[in-house]
Amino acid sequence: GLARLVAQAGLDAAAAAGVPAVLETTNPGNVAMYERLGWRITAELHDIVGLTVWILHYD
């Protein structure tokens, strides 16, 4: 859909510029969606109040 097209434009721009594509999410429902789109989890952080932050990279 539209979100995928917008995301792909950003990934293409990052690749052309030679910079890594990195994102953070605190929504566990987003993790599986990003993984289906080719992102991989590179870190899972937990803060003192129990919030989890996933760091993902696109290869």
Instruction: Name the pLDDT band for 57 (thresholds 50, 70, 90).
Output: very high
Number of structural domains, the chain?
1
Q: What is the CATH number of the domain that holds 24?
A: 3.40.630.30
The closest alpha carbon to 55, from 28, 33, 24, 34, belongs to 24
**Per-residue pLDDT, 4:** 82
pLDDT per position as a tens digit, 4-47 = 888 899 999 999 999 999 999 999 999 999 999 899 999 999 99
Compute the distance between CA of residue 34 and CA of residue 24 in angstroms, rounded to an integer.
Answer: 10
pLDDT(1) > 90: no
Task: List the domain range (segments joined by +) for residue 20.
Answer: 2-58
**Stated pTM of the model:** 0.82
**Per-residue pLDDT, 21:** 96
